[in-house]
Structure 1
Amino acid sequence: MEALGGTTIFLLVCISCLLFATWRSRSQKGKEPPGPTAFPLVGNLLQINPWNLPESLKELSEKYGPVFTVYLGPQKVVVLYGYDVVKEALIDQGDDFSGRGTLPLIKKLFQGTGIVTSNGETWKQLRRFALTTLRDFGMGKKGIEERIQEEAHFLVERLKNTHERPLNPGNFLVHAVSNIICSIVFGDRFDYEDEKFLALIDWIEENNNLQTSIQTQEKGNDDSKFTIETLSRTTLDLFLAGTGTTSITLRFAILILHKYPEIVEKMQKEIDSVIGRDRSPRMSDRSQMPFTDAVIHEVQRYIDFLPLNVPHAVIKDTKFRDYFIPKDTLIFPMLSSVLHDRKEFPNPEKFDPGHFLNANGTFKKSDYFLPFSTGKRVCAGEGLARMEIFIFLTSILQNFTLKPVMDHRDIDISPIITSLASMPRPYKVSFVPR
């Protein structure tokens, strides 16, 4: 019994010493961000709504402030809520917060080997390579604008062939946007009925199996980041990011606009005045079209497509404001908290192009407009997406009036919140030639 008692005392002393050492180490490094008490295994999942995380995190920010900790099951997440802390982290301390955090769904989709979810030197080299290659293929140059104009023409002709039949334009928009990436990567577009093209769209999530032969200076380099796996994964990332986000934004735009015929009418007057009916829209027109520009910005602000942002991570033990954040901690720099900031955008839950217009009708820029995020991990395809959204949408409104299948006042434009993204509600609309 004495031996047993001595062993118990010894174990208690060891545990106490370990706990004291851990506490002392953390206290020396600094306190971590506050948050609700987490339970074993489930974390804070019993205290939040996992199906509407943006709203739950908004409520927690009101109690714990702009920097707080929440546990999604065993996964610890530090949430940054509000423009000031998001900017401070992603811009002022951009290197510290440049890691890509992973959630199970993101890991399953992107596998951690492409440009979206890779980290460290792999990410730096893949991003540099992707941007350089895309520029060589025409992104950011006049040539890519002409490709988008050409694709917009095919899209308009396809819509004309619907003969005003009510339809969900989702597939049409996905095909048109995908063809831009195809024209960049493969050098040519696909016919909308091409079986290979349709298979590519259907199998886009399985595109990781696409293999290609690689011959560069990297042959025989065991440390190379340019493997068949990473390059094919990066190609898939470009398709997923370059097709999904832009086409969904356009679907949202048409859903919103056919609820507000007065906004469409004002946009069409501006389109007719600046562009006319006989030539394709071009990016140089945008500066002369403040109302249309404001509407497009408001669509992206309102839909809040990635409310949590794509998760970040700190790449080292980091001091942020008065807090200590351990290396590899998952970070949610909440875009929703910036795009729906009430001081910058009065009535943020309301769709209002006036958020981006001055009193005299000129376009008003906002530092809070961050749908593509900001900092080291800003969306690599932001310029391409902006060009596609403007040219496709103005081309559609240049040629069609949007006719709803119900009273426009009954159309629900509120986004459907999923685990990671905001999605448009299903709808049908007729495209009536002007």
Structure 2
Amino acid sequence: MALLLWLGSQLSTCWNNISILGVFLTVFTLVLDFMKRRKKWSHYPPGPTSLPFIGTMLHINFRSPHLSFNQLSKKFGNIFCLQNCWTNVVVLNGYKTVKDALVHRSEDFADRPYFSIYEHVGYGTKSEGIVMARYGHVWKELRKFTLTTLRNFGMGKKPLEERVTEEAAYLCSAIRSEEGHPFDPLLPINNAVCNVICTTIYGERFAYGDEMFKKLQHLLENSISAEVGFLPELLNVVPILLRIPGVPQKVFQGQKKLMDFIDVLINKHRETWNPAYTRDFTDVFLKEMEKGKGAEEEGFNHNNLRLVTSDLFVAGSETTSITLRWALLYMLLYPEIQSKVQAEIDKVLGRERSPTMEDQVSMPYTNAVIHEVQRCGDIVPTGLRHMTLRDTEIQGFFIPKGTTIITNLSSVLKDETMWEKPNQFYPEHFLDVNGRFVKREAFMPFSAGRRICLGEQLARMELFIFFTTLLQKFTFVLPENQPRPREDGYFAFTCAPYPYQVRAVPR
């Protein structure tokens, strides 16, 4: 009996010690969380209530974050703060705010936050490509090299324009082969746009219907969609979770498979490389790599070769392809606008002559429609994330160095103070009273400042030539007994239209 009483007392003491330890650890963890999240800055932007550990993450729908940002801006203003666990985030909304940051204080907002999730697809602190690289000497050298090389291969010049025109003819042939039957335009449009950038980077194009291209397109879609949602956001701000066995491989397998595919293209390319003969962008990069240690310190190494070319491939194909799919969708939904575009095409080009970029000046309505597609389609609604390079101030709010910045481009393209009908498809946004094309300050689909999209010229060329050629050769109509397609899109970093069917009637 005495033994039982003694054992009971020992267990009670042990339980009390465990309880005390549990309380201590809980208090310690809460205090640590508070210290990590405590804001010690005056004039810091307001924001929603931050909860322990998860911060404000429950306030955001990561499947449509731009809509959440729009709602929060109504309550907290155009500049408000969030907290993703212990990561400080500031969201900028509206044309004047975004312009103030990206244009007037361009260097202050020129950095990129570090994304730990990208380590698992080859991104690191030293080799980061162009798009997600930290702001500094290596990034400047790589961006300068990339722009110069792309220009040498014809970006903004006749040689590349001729390549786009040739690919537009291939696209029309593929659509003509549908013989007026309903089809989903996704694959042929993706194929056409992808071929333009692939011939520039890798020196080859994919035939329409090519199985390797279908695989590549599938990998690209999976890679982009895998980065969207609560879980990827959580893993990025709490990187210790990435050390759990199997988590990176399961969550980010799409990105890994895409990079593996890029490696296959590069390795195949290196096997046939001849330093005396320059075929494409990859050849020029390989030639730079051969210059030795000095070139390597400037960022010209194997890892950056795969990352820079993959950056160009993804950026040069996905957004333009989505924009063209929006363009055809709007032509289905607004046939009277399609008719006006075709009337202008017939007047300026006729039915046979291929469009050139010089024709753009003589086709203000077509140009306005393309711009309105970009504005209303809202292709990259939240832009790419920035980070403050130094302590800075914007519209009276203090934003410390190292703060993650989200530029809500959707709020710029649909700013009620800048657009007459922000939520409607209205090409007259880009026309004056005399029908002449006018530029609009709040037109920022390519972002702005030091991190503006380096493929803007190529994208503008592709959009004009592909769109004009398609409407010159076909009238696009809804198949019979098909419901009216949805005019809203779905978010997977980019905002794409929901799948739809179309009939292409030869003109």
Question: Is the shorter-chain TM-score for this pair beyond 0.5, marking a shared fold?
Answer: yes
Counterpart in the other structure of 1:53: 65
Counterpart in the other structure of 1:5: none
Pairing 1:260-279 to 2, within 5 Å after superposition: 260-279=334-353
> Shift of the alpha carbon at 1:36?
1.4
> Shift of the alpha carbon at 1:51?
2.6
Letter paired with 1:94: S
Counterpart in the other structure of 1:101: 113
Q: CA-to-partner distance for each residue in 1:26-65, whole Å, 9 max, x for gaps?
A: 45xx432221121112211233333322122112212222
Counterpart in the other structure of 1:240: 314
Structure 1 residue 167 corresponds to structure 2 residue 183 = yes
Contact 2:319 2:494 in 1 (8 A): no
> Shift of the alpha carbon at 1:182?
1.8
Q: Provide the secondary structure at the position in 1 that maps to 2:52.
A: coil
Contact 2:141 2:298 in 1 (8 A): no
Provide the C-alpha distance between the structure 1 equivalents of 2:80 and 2:122, rounded to a whole number of angstroms: 27
Count of paired positions: 413
Counterpart in the other structure of 1:132: 148
Q: CA-to-partner distance for each residue in 1:319-371, whole Å, 9 max, x for gaps?
A: 33322222221101111111001122123111111211222222121010000
Provide the C-alpha distance between the structure 1 equivalents of 2:435 and 2:325, rounded to a whole number of angstroms: 26
Provide the C-alpha distance between the structure 1 equivalents of 2:123 and 2:331, rounded to a whole number of angstroms: 37
Provide the C-alpha distance between the structure 2 equivalents of 1:108 and 1:362, rounded to a whole number of angstroms: 50
Is the radius of gyration larger for structure 1 or structure 2? 2
Match of 1:346 among 415, 420, 439: 420
Structure 1 residue 427 corresponds to structure 2 residue 472 = no
Match of 2:165 among 126, 129, 149: 149
Counterpart in the other structure of 1:11: none
Q: Provide the secondary structure at the position in 1 that maps to 2:188.
A: helix
Q: CA-to-partner distance for each residue in 1:140-194, whole Å, 9 max, x for gaps?
A: 1111000000000111111111101101011101110111112212344343244
Counterpart in the other structure of 1:411: 485
Counterpart in the other structure of 2:401: 327
Match of 2:123 among 92, 106, 111: 111
Contact 2:45 2:79 in 1 (8 A): yes
Counterpart in the other structure of 1:40: 52
Pairing 1:166-315 to 2, within 5 Å after superposition: 166-203=182-219, 205-206=258-259, 207-210=261-264, 211=266, 214-216=286-288, 218-221=291-294, 223-315=297-389
Structure 1 gaps of 5+ residues are: 1-14
Contact 1:110 1:117 in 2 (8 A): no
Q: TM-score scaled by structure 2?
A: 0.76
> Shift of the alpha carbon at 1:110?
7.8
> Shift of the alpha carbon at 1:196?
4.9
Letter paired with 1:220: K
Comparing 55-64 with 78-87, greater Cα deviation is found at: 55-64
Letter paired with 2:166: E
Letter paired with 1:429: V
Q: Provide the secondary structure at the position in 1 that maps to 2:333.
A: coil
Provide the C-alpha distance between the structure 1 equivalents of 2:131 and 2:378, rounded to a whole number of angstroms: 19
Structure 1 residue 88 corresponds to structure 2 residue 100 = yes
Q: TM-score scaled by structure 1?
A: 0.88
Counterpart in the other structure of 1:4: none
Provide the C-alpha distance between the structure 2 equivalents of 1:371 and 1:110, rounded to a whole number of angstroms: 28
Letter paired with 2:490: I
Q: Provide the secondary structure at the position in 1 that maps to 2:293.
A: coil
Provide the C-alpha distance between the structure 1 equivalents of 2:298 and 2:444, rounded to a whole number of angstroms: 34
Q: Provide the secondary structure at the position in 2 that maps to 1:291.
A: helix
When residues 266 and 110 of structure 1 are mapped into structure 2, their CA distance, relative to the original with a 3 A threshold, is farther
Counterpart in the other structure of 1:66: 78
Percent pairwise identity: 42
When residues 62 and 305 of structure 1 are mapped into structure 2, their CA distance, relative to the original with a 3 A threshold, is same
Letter paired with 1:237: D
Letter paired with 1:299: V
Provide the C-alpha distance between the structure 2 equivalents of 1:106 and 1:379, rounded to a whole number of angstroms: 20
Q: Provide the secondary structure at the position in 1 that maps to 2:443.
A: coil
When residues 102 and 188 of structure 1 are mapped into structure 2, their CA distance, relative to the original with a 3 A threshold, is same
Q: Provide the secondary structure at the position in 2 that maps to 1:362.
A: coil
Contact 1:69 1:76 in 2 (8 A): yes
Contact 2:365 2:435 in 1 (8 A): yes
Q: CA-to-partner distance for each residue in 1:64-93, whole Å, 9 max, x for gaps?
A: 222110123433211111111111111111
When residues 110 and 289 of structure 1 are mapped into structure 2, their CA distance, relative to the original with a 3 A threshold, is farther
Pairing 1:372-411 to 2, within 5 Å after superposition: 372-406=446-480, 410-411=484-485
Contact 1:139 1:184 in 2 (8 A): no
Provide the C-alpha distance between the structure 2 equivalents of 1:99 and 1:233, rounded to a whole number of angstroms: 18
Q: Provide the secondary structure at the position in 2 that maps to 1:50.
A: coil
Contact 1:137 1:185 in 2 (8 A): no
Letter paired with 1:351: F
Runs of 4+ more than 6 Å apart: 104-110
Q: CA-to-partner distance for each residue in 1:383-421, whole Å, 9 max, x for gaps?
A: 000100110011111011112125788332112234x22
Letter paired with 1:167: F
